[in-house]
A = this chain, B = another copy of it.
Amino acid sequence: MKHLTAFFLTFFASFTLCCGQITDPKATEVWQPEPRVVTPGQGTKPPSDAIVLFNGTGFSEWVSLKDSAAAVSWNLARDSSMTVQPGTGDIMTKRVFGDCQLHLEFRTPLVVKGEGQGRGNSGVFLQDRYEVQVLDSYQNRTYSNGQCASIYKQTIPLVNACRPPGEWQTYDILFTAPRFNADGILLMPGRVTVIQNGVVVQMNTEIKGTTEYIGLPRTEAHGKAPIRLQDHGDLVSYRNIWLREL
């Protein structure tokens, strides 16, 4: 037994040495927490944890900006899409959101009309304030910070990855909401990544403030807020809109 003890002491000493360098791969395993399971989407089917904001069946998740008591009067089509009804105004979600992943598909009119900002104009407002521009920017020059996939009047997209008018296009948006301190001063700006038709066009872009048509972005403290889709007078269509809260 004596020898055995001696053997063990030696063993432990060398063990301490060896392990200081980590020799056991288990040492760097982390078992908790276990990420929850999400069944990914397929075709038009969204991921299992997504909030379906629009799938063609109606506007139950939306209200009109002009009159939140009135029914949304954009047009539903048989292909499960909706189209802006010019003059009826923007629509926005009943629910409010913070950090999220947002998927949607949009289509600018096949029959091209107008030019620059006047062609297939709409927009996706994150937290009711920060616009990812929707525009027919296929062979349609406008100011770079106003073309499709720009953070409108803030940040030009990395590239122009637009499909032609009449074709469905996708936006996959990763949004981190801004953070404000007790003074209402911005402590951590919002950020957004946008993948358009599978091509990254905004990459962790800092949001500079509210989207303003005239003047500079403003900073205003706020909490969770709706997603808003813009009626800019053009017959832009949307379909397959879902959101995952992060």
Contacts and interface: CB of A to CB of B under 8 A. Distances in A.
A123 to B, nearest CB: 15
A182 B245 contact: yes
A203 B187 contact: yes
B185 A193 contact: no
A27 B38 contact: no
Contact of A147 (B26, B35, B184, B244): B35
Contacts of A193: 174, 193, 204
B36 A159 contact: yes
A95 interface: no
Interface string A181-215: 11111011101010111111001101010001111
A156 interface: yes
B35 A163 contact: no
B198 A25 contact: no
A55 interface: no
Main DSSP-derived SS at the A contact region: loop
A119 B205 CA distance: 36
A30 to B, nearest CB: 4
Nearest to A8: B11
B20 A199 contact: no
B206 A161 contact: no
Interface of A: 4, 15-16, 19-41, 47, 49, 99, 101, 103, 141, 143-147, 153, 156-163, 169, 172, 174, 176, 179, 181-185, 187-189, 191, 193, 195-200, 203-204, 206, 208, 212-216, 218-219, 244-246
Given A33-B185, A37-B160, 4 more contacts: A20-B24, A30-B218, A181-B246, A193-B204
**Shortest 3 CB-CB distances between A and B: which pairs?**
A20-B26, A40-B197, A29-B143
12 contacts: A19-B26, A28-B216, A34-B141, A34-B144, A35-B147, A38-B159, A40-B162, A101-B200, A156-B185, A172-B195, A176-B187, A182-B245
